[in-house]
């Protein structure tokens, strides 16, 4: 039976999530990849244990994470119930619904029927009574925002989630959603968006600024740009990389010579700072006002411990920040 490291809370920093009472670790573990039916279960366990032994209390899932959809929740549920159940009250477990999960008109987007039914299924897969955070995974252009937010409120008031979150919302839609949730007295505390040195959409669409304005924390997913902001692609595309083995979220046409040249320049800066490229990339996201945590994925435990090092050491000088911007602009 797994026993957690007694010094786990001395190894990582925690940040308050917006104006709420909840604190999240600076680095959280995302189970988007490498927790599906095609992954090694013993390695999954080692990654969960390594994360928690190093103070990572937050494990982030979604209904459709796999493959197949639902598999990540099933596998995490097995690990939690067989090995980590004694630590449930020390964990923040989040899941989401909003992308296609099952056939027909009720297995997608943001209706009340879909969100409530999806969470019921997620709880059964993980064998939990509640999750700590339940997100609407993406905006629904057809369902009234009042219905979607009302469903989140019902879920929280039912006790099946402690907090509500939104994912992939821009600033304007997030602000309207927050006004509805505030009126309902629903604890909306977090927004999850893609954010990295290579993807700054949240700066352009107002999501980052709005999060701070309304007292909501932001957690960044894909802070390493699906692995581009590591040393994996400096010498081209490895045969065992995600580009070659998956290709759904990062394909070969995206790894251009121009991108590789930018990666090499960023890696040079990271080495000058005494860091890996991944640590520098994570630290850049964490340096932004309003960012509470970065969600990292991993294929092996060592990557988790390497990423946690981004929480230590100096942040960036004005000259370094300008250099990063210039590199991204192709200068």
Q: What is the mean pLDDT of residues 229-243?
A: 75
* Lowest-confidence region among 13-17, 155-159, 198-202, 241-245: 241-245
Q: What's the mean pLDDT in 251-257?
A: 77
Task: Tell me which of 328 and 246 has the higher pLDDT.
Answer: 328
pTM of the model: 0.95
**pLDDT average, residue stretch 86-109:** 98
**Is pLDDT of 245 > 60?**
no
Distance CA 186, CA 166 (A): 13
% of the chain surpassing 90 pLDDT: 89
Domain 8-232+278-315: CATH superfamily is: NADP-dependent oxidoreductase domain (3.20.20.100)
- Per residue, the 3-state secondary structure of the chain, as one string, reads CCCCCCCHHHCCCEEECCCCCCEEECEEEECCCCCCCCCCHHHHHHHHHHHHHCCCCEEECCCCCCCCCCHHHHHHHHHHHHHHHHHHHHCEEEEEECCCCCCCCCCCCCCHHHHHHHHHHHHHHHCCCCEEEEEECCCCCCCCHHHHHHHHHHHHHCCCEEEEEEECCCHHHHHHHHHHHHHCCCCEEEEEEECECCECHHHHCCHHHHHHHCCCEEEEECCCHHHCCCHHHCCCCCCCCHHHHCCCCCCHHHCCHHHHHHHHHHHHHHHHCCCCHHHHHHHHHHCCCCEEEEEECCCCHHHHHHHHHHHCCCCCCHHHHHHHHHHHCCC
Provide the residue count of the chain.
Answer: 331
pLDDT given for residue 59 in this prediction = 98
Q: At residue 295, does pLDDT exceed 70?
A: yes
Domain assignments of the chain as residue spans, ordered by start: 8-232+278-315
pLDDT for res 233: 84
Q: Residue range 44-52: average pLDDT?
A: 98
pLDDT over 80 (residue 50): yes
* Distance separating alpha carbons of residues 93 and 51, to the nearest angstrom: 13
Residue, of 87 and 236, whose pLDDT is higher? 87
């Amino acid at each position: 039976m797994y026993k957690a490291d007694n010094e786990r809370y001395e190894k990582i920093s925690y940040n308050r999530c917006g104006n709420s009472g909840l604190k999240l670790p600076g680095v959280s573990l995302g189970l988007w990849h490498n927790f599906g039916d095609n992954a090694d279960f013993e390695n999954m366990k080692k990654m969960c244990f390594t994360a928690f032994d190093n103070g990572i209390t937050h494990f982030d899932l979604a209904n459709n994470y796999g493959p197949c959809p639902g598999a990540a929740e099933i596998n995490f549920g097995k690990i939690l119930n067989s090995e980590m159940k004694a630590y449930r009250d020390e964990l923040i477990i989040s899941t989401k619904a909003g992308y296609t999960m099952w056939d027909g008109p009720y297995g997608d987007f943001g209706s009340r029927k879909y969100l409530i039914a999806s969470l019921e299924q997620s709880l059964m897969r993980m064998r939990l009574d509640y999750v700590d955070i339940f997100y609407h995974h993406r905006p629904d252009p057809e369902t009234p925002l009042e219905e979607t937010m009302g469903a989140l409120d019902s879920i929280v008031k039912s006790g099946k989630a402690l907090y509500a979150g939104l994912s992939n919302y821009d600033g304007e839609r997030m602000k309207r959603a927050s006004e509805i949730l505030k009126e309902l007295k629903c604890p909306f505390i977090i927004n999850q968006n893609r954010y990295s040195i290579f993807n700054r959409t949240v700066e352009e669409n107002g999501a980052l600024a709005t999060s701070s304005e309304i007292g909501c924390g932001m957690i960044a997913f894909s802070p390493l740009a699906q692995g581009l902001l590591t040393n994996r692609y400096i010498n081209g595309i490895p045969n065992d990389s995600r580009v070659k083995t998956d290709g759904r979220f990062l394909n070969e046409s995206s790894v251009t010579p121009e991108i590789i040249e930018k990666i090499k320049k960023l890696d040079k800066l990271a080495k000058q700072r005494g860091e890996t490229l991944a640590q520098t990339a994570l630290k850049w996201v964490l340096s932004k006002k309003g960012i509470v945590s970065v969600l990292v994925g991993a294929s092996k435990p060592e990557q988790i411990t390497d990423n946690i090092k981004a929480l230590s050491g100096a942040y960036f000088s004005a000259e370094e920040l300008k250099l990063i911007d210039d590199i991204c602009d192709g200068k």
